[in-house]
Amino acid sequence: MNTVAVIDYGMGNLRSVCKAIEHATPRARVRLTTAAADIRAATRVVFPGQGAIGACMTALEGNGLRDSLLEAIKTKPFLGICLGLQALYDFSEEGGGTPGLSLLAGTVKRFPAGKMTDVATGLPLKVPHMGWNEVHQTGPHPMWNGIPQDSRFYFVHSYYADSADALDVAGETAYALRFTSAAARANIFAVQFHPEKSQHGGLRLLENFISWDGSY
C-alpha cells in the first residue's frame, strides 16, 4: 500500500493537503505526522505549508524533523508545496535572510512591490501574488501527466524562487517577472502553487504523485 507522510511542523494549511490527497487517491494511506519514524516508514513524503520561512526552518530543527526529512528526500518520491518548495533552495531573503536546505541551487526573493506591473495592461500588480495563474511546463515530467500545458493553479505568496540551474525548473509562471513555479530533480518535485486549492489540475498532480516512482 502507498503510505504518504505529510510533515506536520506547525504551519498552516496542512490538513487540507491531507484531505486533497485522500480525495485524489482514496486507496493511499495518508498520515499527518510529527514523528521521524513515520517519515522513515512512509513510501512517499509531502512537505507543505504556508507562512514564514524562518519559522518553518526553526520548527524543523526544534521538532527534530530536519534529519528525517533530508533522509527521506534522498530516497523517496518527495513533493514540496509552497514553503516546501522555498525551503529546498540555498537562501531566502525573507526575515532578513534565512538559509534553506540547499538541495536546489538558487535564492528565494521578494517580489519588488514598487516594480510590479502587468506587461499586457500596464496596470500595477499586488503583492502577495494571490489567485489563479498559468504554469508553463518547461518539459515532460511524470508529474505533469494528464495536465494540459499552461494550466492554471492557485497561488498565495510574496516570495518567489529564482533557480540558479535551469535544469531544475519544471514549470514557470509570469507575474511581472518569470519565476520558478515548479522544480524537479531526481525524486524531488516541488511547486509554489497549492494543488489542494487548484481543483482538477491540482488533484491530478496529487494523483500523479501517488503513482510516480520517483524517477526523472
Residue 105, domain member (yes or no): yes
- Is 59 part of a structural domain of the chain? yes
Would 45 be classed as within a structural domain? yes
Claim: this prediction has a pTM higher than 0.85? yes
Does 125 fall in a domain? yes
> Tell me: the pLDDT tens digits for 87-126?
999 999 998 999 999 999 999 999 998 889 988 888 999 9
**Containing domain of residue 61, as a range?**
3-211
- The listed range with the strongest mean pLDDT (27-31, 56-60, 118-122, 155-159) is 155-159
CA dihedral 28, 76, 184, 68 (to 10 degrees): 110
CATH of residue 75? 3.40.50.880
Catalytic site positions: 82, 194, 196
144 contacts 195 by C-beta, under 8 angstroms: no
Domain count, the chain: 1
Average pLDDT, integer, range 197-203 = 96
Residue 128 forms part of a structural domain: yes
Residue 53, SS3?
helix
Within-domain flag for 146: yes
Return all residues near 81 (Cβ < 8 A) that are at least 6 apart: 17, 46, 47, 48, 49, 190, 191, 194, 195, 196
Q: Which tens digits make up the pLDDT trace of 128-153? A: 999 999 999 999 999 999 999 999 99
Residue 216, in any domain of the structure: no
